[in-house]
Amino acid sequence: MDSWMGHKLDVGEDTFITRWLHLYGWAINIQHLPETEVYRTSKKDSNYLKQMFRWERSTIQSHIRYAFQVKQIYSSFFVARTIWLRLLRPLITTIHGVIWALTMWQCPLFA
C-alpha cells in the first residue's frame, strides 16, 4: 500500500500530491521547455478499453475529491467551472442522447 505523510494513496491516484498542495495553499507552477516531453503509454490489445475505463474512473474520482475537499478551487471561476462541467458530462451526454432519440422518433429523417 502506498502512502504519503500518513495518507493512503489509491490506485491510479496521481493527483493526490497536487490536491494536497492546493489544500495547504501552495502555488503550483509549470515550467514548460521545448525539450520537455511527457508520455503516456496505452495498451495495444483488447485491454485498451479496460484501461480507458480505469482512466475515466480515476479522473471522475479525482474531480469529486477536488470539488468537495479543496475549497480553494472556488477562488478561481475557471477551475471550479471546469471541474463541475467534467463531473456533469455523463449526465449532459445522457440528456443529449435521450433528446436526440426522442427527436428521431418524433420526426424521422426518412419518413
Quick check: 62 pLDDT over 70? yes
% of the chain surpassing 70 pLDDT: 85
Quick check: 108 pLDDT over 70? yes
Classify residue 73 by burial, with Cβ atoms within 10 Å: 0-12, 13-18, 19+: buried
- 50-57 average pLDDT score: 82
Q: Cβ distance 90 to 64 under 8 Å?
A: no
pLDDT of 93: 94
Q: What's the CA gap between 67 and 53, in Å, rounded?
A: 21
Quote the pTM value.
0.56
pLDDT of 45: 80
